[in-house]
Chains A and B, each alone.
Chain A
Amino acid sequence: MSERSLRAPRLPRVPAVPLAIGIGILIGGLLVLASGGDPIAAYREILIGALAPSNWPNTLNWAVPLVGMTLVAALPLRGGMVNLGGDGQLVIGGLAAAMAALYLPLPGPLLIAASILCAMVASGLYASLAAWGETRFGIPMLISTLLLSYPAIGIASYLVGFPLRDMATGLAQTRMIPDAARLPVISGPLNIGLILMAIVAVAVVFYDRRTVGGYELRMRGLNAKFAGYGSVRLAAQQVRVMFASGAIAGLVGAILVLGSLYRYQDGALLTPGYTWSGLMAALLAGGAPLGAICAGLFFAGLQTGGFAMQRETAIPRVLTMILQSVIILFLAIRHGVGRKSS
């Protein structure tokens, strides 16, 4: 209520981020030390694993879905809305892409385009279902997005476990998609999914900064009552934004399926935990797209570095997850994220 309780910048002030990272590194180091490891070696391996030029393709390849899922979370968050259903939307996108690639009778590039489009529309619609539920029936999206994830994951799991299962293997997965449907490779593990995601990232930043829709979303995030009073159609906006958010999740699913897995495999999209890392990155930046993208890239580096460290030393890569959490916790404490103003 207080007219002055809000300090203007929601983003962490510049010095806070390095400080939080420093403290995270310190605590992580102490943990390694306490369990008998060599923290210097651990961090060296993380750095090399993430940043050595020969490892760039790996890091980037990991960053594509992670930054994608960061945008999935950041876009609604910019308007003060939360999409916790990234997992479900990712799975629906992946499955839709696989089915389109397997069953649509289209030639080469068209098949790719159609598969991606199917994935985006399917996930977008599924995400906007939650928005519609809130605007129409008052079911909070915080709950419905999360709950809608489980049936999506369950049904997808059933479909690839039974009707769509590839009988040639013993696993719950579809057949391999035809070569024509596979995303063209740029080099090594990198495919044009990287370019698609870069375009989406730029588009989101542009939308946020320059468009009427971006302005209205930002105002809603700062004060929804003000936006509604001022002429923003909140209900329509909510459905639109959730559609876009879900569509990006669908794109991530499609890129993973068409670009690296070449089939839909039960659980394969979810085990890396892109959704939650992405959500954390988005929260870290308070939904601001550019900040969120940077945070997403940082986490991607940390995680690929973690794999390298696990390979080279005996230290499990859980360390990087701890680092990630400590950094966020510390930033949250310093900035009172979510603190209620009286």
Chain B
Amino acid sequence: MSTIELEARSIVKRYGPLVANDHIDLSVLSGEVHAVMGENGAGKSTLMSILYGMQAPDSGQIFLRGAEMRYRSALDAIGAGMGMVHQAFKLFNSLTVWENVVYGMEPTRFGFIDRREAARRVAALADRYRLQVDPNAVVGQLSVGVRQRVEILKALYRDARVLILDEPTAVLTPQERDGLFDIIRNLTADDRTILFVTHKLHEVMAITDRVTVLRDGKVVDRMVTSETSAREIIRAMTGRAVNLTVEKRPSEPGAVVLEARGLTVATDGGKPVVDRVDLAIRAGEIVGIAGVAGNGQTELIEALTGLRIPDGGKVAINGADVTALDVERHRDAGLAYIPEDRATTGTALAASAADNLAMGFQRKPPLSNGRLLDAGAVTAHAKKLIDRFGVKIGSEQLAVGTLSGGNLQKVVVARELSHAAPLLIAEQPTRGVDVGAIEFIHAQLVAERDRGGAVLLVSAELTEILALSDRVLVMFDGRILAELPAAEADEETLGLLMAGRVGEAHLSDGTEAA
């Protein structure tokens, strides 16, 4: 059991003056689940991509089962039995789910791709691992949560001996996460090896055997999971204690800020993805929407924010009807919005941090007089937000495409929170950010509420919904299945409701089942 499967010796990777990996030594035993932890920008994804042959290290060696590997590209790593789930998904958006999954390893018949067999295999794989996806759906149209499942399926399909999982659970619901853990246990029982990157400590405690902690590109600690605690890991990562519980007073809801009536989003032919949804969010409250990804949350939010014109129903912000208007008019009426997909919607990767942070502020003082931009003010604005949210970036003039996943998320959150708008819609606001930053963002969301803002929160992370929400709405199959006051909501009840099992959930009088 304890032969070394994968070993990295003294890996160094520099990006200009920044040392992303600073002489990292890592050894992973065969059959173990090995966690790599560290704050945003600590160098985890960089290390993983080097182990997977996607990037060459500046110096250092990699050994797989004792033999030194010299990768020319990731294809060599795949050939050697490695698989990877990427934090920033590597999927073809214009292709279908099955095409993405079998890409590079297509079943063939008479020399042609056997499409039916491929789709069948993917469906069977999805079924076996309880990862719900439609093999024929086009990836670009799927929500981030569903795309996460596709990315996982793709790695599983390849049947790798060593599997690297870079934040695979960032948008999974607890049920899906448990499903993934079952898969991991089966794989390790089969003597497969798993490298697991996550920011979620309970996951590390639940599934891993050993932990390597990185800080600023260096290994600062190695631990055996059974001999350590979440608190100790956090201390190793951050050098301080982090408060994981959210402090908040009972809410004092005021006037209705966001109101939707009979909101419907249709699909071509099939039944609506959002089906006559009614909701009202008041000033001074946080309302959470829980649900398994793919039950219409993404489309509901698109319809509420103006990214998509609804097929039926009405949306009003602060009393103004904005149903068929573009995002700009929604923003005028008082919307700020953290989208779930930071890379395709929330930022322009090739633009600088200063430009990304200026978006939405560009027509108002102090950034401009409506016509001319004040370059100094744009820079100052960016510097202030980078500083306040602790974004790890060399300069505000750098393109945000080079940021680590969590730091990119902070850019989006920082910009939208700084609007101090009457209404904030936050989709997966802490996706991929480290524990310290989660603490900070949660505190900011509560402060937003206490200031009198209305907050609509969508999250796959039930603990986040439970910690922050004053009311919880459960979405299932395009409808709001139930509404619970925070006091009534617990993980078990929500889990049942999210699976559509209303009858089994013990709902009290305060709860309405729709």
Contacts and interface: CB of A to CB of B under 8 A. Distances in A.
A114 B305 CA distance: 46
B362 interface: yes
Interface string B346-362: 11111100010011101
A342 B359 CA distance: 26
Contacts of B305: 229
Max chain A C-beta neighbours (<10 A), residue from B90, B91, B359: B359
B327 interface: yes
Nearest to A230: B359
B372 to A, nearest CB: 6
Interface string B375-414: 1000000000000000000000011011001001000000
B86 interface: yes
B108 interface: no
B362 A3 contact: no
Interface stretch (B202-210, B336-344, B486-494): B336-344
A111 to B, nearest CB: 32
Contacts of A216: 362
A215 B342 CA distance: 20
Contacts of A211: 371-373
Interface in A312-329: none
Interface in A31-48: none
B88 A2 contact: yes
A1 B90 CA distance: 7
Given A4-B88, A6-B401, A210 B408 contact: no
A14 interface: no
Contacts of A212: 362-363, 368, 370-373
Contacts of A214: 373
B448 to A, nearest CB: 19
Contact of B337 (A4, A210, A229, A234): A229
B444 interface: no
A8 B399 contact: yes
Interface string A1-33: 111111110100000000000000000000000
Nearest to A213: B371
B125 to A, nearest CB: 21
A1 B348 contact: no
Contacts of B362: 212, 215-216, 231
A6 B343 CA distance: 11
A223 B349 CA distance: 8
A212 B408 CA distance: 24
B279 interface: no
A228 B359 CA distance: 10
A228 B327 CA distance: 7
B129 interface: no
The contact size tier of chain A is: 20 to 34
Nearest to B92: A342
Interface in B90-139: 90-93
A218 interface: yes
A335 interface: no
A214 B372 CA distance: 9
A1 B91 contact: yes
Interface string A204-240: 0000001111111011001101111111111100000
B358 A1 contact: no
Nearest to A232: B328
Max chain B C-beta neighbours (<10 A), residue from A2, A213, A226, A229: A229
B114 to A, nearest CB: 23
B51 to A, nearest CB: 16
A215 B358 contact: yes
A5 B89 CA distance: 11
Nearest to A223: B348
Contact of A2 (B90, B348, B363): B90
Contacts of A2: 86, 88-90, 343
A231 B327 contact: yes
B245 interface: no
B88 A3 contact: yes
Nearest to B330: A231
Max chain B C-beta neighbours (<10 A), residue from A1, A10, A222: A1
B307 interface: yes
A229 B345 contact: yes
Contacts of A3: 87-88, 342-343, 349, 401, 405, 408
Max chain A C-beta neighbours (<10 A), residue from B339, B343, B358, B408: B343
Given A6-B349, A212-B370, A233 B343 contact: no
Given A1-B343, A2-B90, A210-B373, A231 B331 contact: yes
Interface in A273-294: none
B326 interface: yes
B328 A231 contact: yes
Nearest to B408: A3
A210 to B, nearest CB: 6
Closest 4 CB pairs of A and B: A8-B399, A3-B88, A230-B359, A223-B348
14 contacts: A1-B92, A3-B88, A4-B401, A7-B350, A211-B371, A215-B373, A219-B355, A222-B349, A226-B345, A226-B348, A227-B359, A228-B326, A229-B337, A233-B328
Given A7-B350, A10-B350, 20 more contacts: A3-B343, A3-B349, A3-B401, A4-B349, A4-B401, A6-B399, A8-B399, A212-B362, A212-B363, A215-B373, A218-B351, A219-B355, A226-B347, A226-B348, A229-B305, A229-B345, A230-B327, A231-B327, A231-B328, A233-B326
